[in-house]
Amino acid sequence: MPSSIDDFPLDALVQIFCKLDHDELRPLRCVSKSFNHAAIAAQQMHFDFSTPAPKKSMAFSRHMDASPGGPSWALEVRKPKTAKLSEGESRRIAVVLFPATDRDRRRTTRPECRRCSVAPGSLHLANAHA
């Protein structure tokens, strides 16, 4: 009989932890070393992929954004502008500036990308940092 939890298989312990909420996991880490391992494993395989349950203590987070130091998006939200011109009017005004077909456009932009000797992968990474 596994009288002590130390004989308990790690995966069973992880299973138990996965049934808890996010904020209930942390205190378990300092119960013992095996608990710490199980909590880290549970974090990696379950909690990183699930949304924390809404808590009363977070009630005011609706008014604050996720990061307190971050820009407050709420102030910058504007009403969507409604078009002042009707569709018929705007079509009358609009002029095609670059009369090229889609295929032509693709042909002209592709060499541009090659010229700047940056691999597409690293370009993507740079964007991710921005």
With binding defined as CB under 8 A, does residue 11 bind other proteins? yes
**Nearest approach, Cβ of residue 65 and other proteins (Å):** 20
With binding defined as CB under 8 A, does residue 28 bind other proteins? yes
CA–CA distance, 36 with 112 (Å, rounded to integer): 52
Question: Tokens at residue 43, please?
Answer: 């974090």
Residue 41 buriedness (CB in 10 A; 0-12 / 13-18 / 19+): middle
Say how many residues touch other proteins, by CB under 8 A: 30
With binding defined as CB under 8 A, does residue 46 bind other proteins? no
With binding defined as CB under 8 A, does residue 75 bind other proteins? no
Q: Among 18, 41, 46, 47, which residue sits at the site for other proteins (rule: CB under 8 A)?
A: 18
CA–CA distance, 85 with 82 (Å, rounded to integer): 9
Q: Among 30, 45, 53, 100, which residue sits at the site for other proteins (rule: CB under 8 A)?
A: 30
With binding defined as CB under 8 A, does residue 24 bind other proteins? yes
| Helix residue spans in 3-119 (DSSP H) | 10-18, 22-25, 33-45, 73-76, 87-93, 102-115
Please report, as ranges, the residues that interact with other proteins according to CB under 8 A. 1-9, 11-12, 15-20, 23-24, 26-36
